[in-house]
Amino acid sequence: MSTNKLFGLMLMMAVWTNALNAQSIGLTTENDAYLLKMEDAYYTNGLFLHYSYAKLGKSGSRQIHQFTLGQKIFTPLLRNTQTPVDIDRPYAGYSFAQYSQTHFLKDRSVFQWAGTLGIIGPASGGEGLQNTYHRWLNYAQFRGWRYQINNQLVLNAGAMYAYHMVNTQQFKGILISDAQLGTGFVNASLGTKWVYGLLNSAQQSQLWNAAQESKRNNKKEFYFYWYPKITWQGYNATISGGSRTTADSSVTRTPQRWVFQHTLGLAYSAGRWAAQMELVHQSRETLEQLKKHRYLSLQLQYRIH
């Protein structure tokens, strides 16, 4: 083997080893019942398993690659559904697989794109999962799953661009815009994320799931944030459903065109572990929805160095 080929092979092995040493696995769970207010409605449960790794792109900038398996469950406010009139937010289950790439452009800009393949409807398993954990926890059952949104394939693409308007060591003000287009969701949002605390640079921060170096290079982070945003909903299959037939018994509703959301969060990371907690307050998603909604998101991540 020539010297050049040997050097090239060693370089490829070094890059691959570096990627393998910058991995993480994580679990996120979201539920309104975590607020201990006996609330169980609307976006009632979310469960996500994610795996990510970091590597250098062709331009030398850092990239984060992430794979996510997830499920979301939606229900109306009233458990004892007697007729379709009782449904202010449709019953729906949504299961999906997603791949995303996050790119860091210079010091202040972050770009992310994602592709999602999923299913909305009975095939998602939402009804079975909710009935199972409600039985385990001795919670009352929702009685209207026979009216859930019909099966629909989700094939979606999304993009996000963020710009650090304020970018100091302890405080960041970030303008964030994102959009989705596909068979399941068509929307666009704009918001600002205000972050204060012990922070690393964007390319090494848990803020962008980028703190995946070895322990000796992985600095501790502890920060608070507030993230208000407004979303325009063009189409949401968990509300409007897909194609309908005369035999279709699913109940759909009319989506609110504009949805406001406020997120308060707390994050900590050190060494191999990272944790995050978010309180999300969301305005009504449908014209018929009786109340606004709140839920808590909990995330735990382990880094494989």
3-state secondary structure the chain: CCHHHHHHHHHHHHHHHHHHCCEEEEEEEEEHHHHCCCCCCEEEEEEEEEEEEEEECCCCCEEEEEEEEEEEEEECCCCCCCCHHHCCCCCEEEEEEEEEEEEEECCCEEEEEEEEEEEECHHHCHHHHHHHHHHHCCCCCCCCHHHCCCCEEEEEEEEEEEEEEEECCCEEEEEEEEEEEECCEEEEEEEEEEEEEECCCHHHCHHHCCCCCCHHHCCCEEEEEEEEEEEEEEEEHHHHCCCCCCCCCCCCCCECCEEEEEEEEEEEEECCEEEEEEEEEECCCECCCCCCEEEEEEEEEEEEC
CA atoms within 13 A on the CB side of 37: 9
Q: What's the CA gap between 6 and 63, in Å, rounded?
A: 27
pLDDT for residue 18 is more than 80? no
Q: Enumerate the β-bridge partners of residue 185.
A: 236
Question: Which tens digits make up the pLDDT trace of 160-201?
Answer: 999 999 999 899 999 999 999 999 999 999 999 999 999 988
Q: What is the mean pLDDT of residues 122-134?
A: 91
| Among candidate residues 151, 34, 148, the one with its CA nearest the CA of residue 91 | 148
The pLDDT of residue 127: 92
Question: Which tens digits make up the pLDDT trace of 67-108?
Answer: 999 999 999 999 998 889 999 999 999 999 999 999 998 778
Amino acid letter for position 200: N
The pLDDT of residue 16: 46
The pLDDT of residue 7: 42
Q: What's the CA gap between 251 and 120, in Å, rounded?
A: 14
pLDDT bracket for residue 37 (50, 70, 90): confident
The pLDDT of residue 74: 97
**Mean pLDDT computed over every residue of the chain:** 88
- In order of their start, the domains of the chain are 25-304 (2.40.128.140)
Q: What's the CA gap between 207 and 228, in Å, rounded?
A: 16
The pLDDT of residue 10: 38
Query: What CA–CA distances, in Å, run from 89 to 80, 156, 186, 219, 241?
Result: 14, 22, 18, 44, 12
Look at the block and give the residue holding tokens 């209207």: 144
The pLDDT of residue 202: 85
The pLDDT of residue 216: 56
Most confident of 37-46, 124-133, 134-143: 124-133
CA atoms within 13 A on the CB side of 112: 22
Most confident of 49-58, 61-70, 121-130, 225-234: 225-234
The pLDDT of residue 157: 98
The pLDDT of residue 138: 80
Question: Which tens digits make up the pLDDT trace of 199-254?
Answer: 988 888 889 988 766 555 668 999 999 999 999 999 999 999 876 655 577 899 99
pLDDT bracket for residue 59 (50, 70, 90): low
Q: What's the CA gap between 126 and 96, in Å, rounded?
A: 12
**Contact (Cβ atoms closer than 8 angstroms) between residue 92 and residue 120:** yes
Most confident of 18-32, 129-143, 282-296: 282-296
pLDDT for residue 3 is more than 60? no
- Number of C-beta neighbours around residue 110 at 10 A: 22
Dig out the tokens for 261 from the structure: 């959301």
The pLDDT of residue 210: 82
The pLDDT of residue 14: 40
Q: What's the CA gap between 34 and 32, in Å, rounded?
A: 5
Using a pLDDT cut of 70, give the percent of the chain over it.
Answer: 88
| Among candidate residues 99, 135, 136, the one with its CA nearest the CA of residue 118 | 99
The pLDDT of residue 204: 85
Q: Comparing 32 with 216, which gets the higher pLDDT?
A: 32
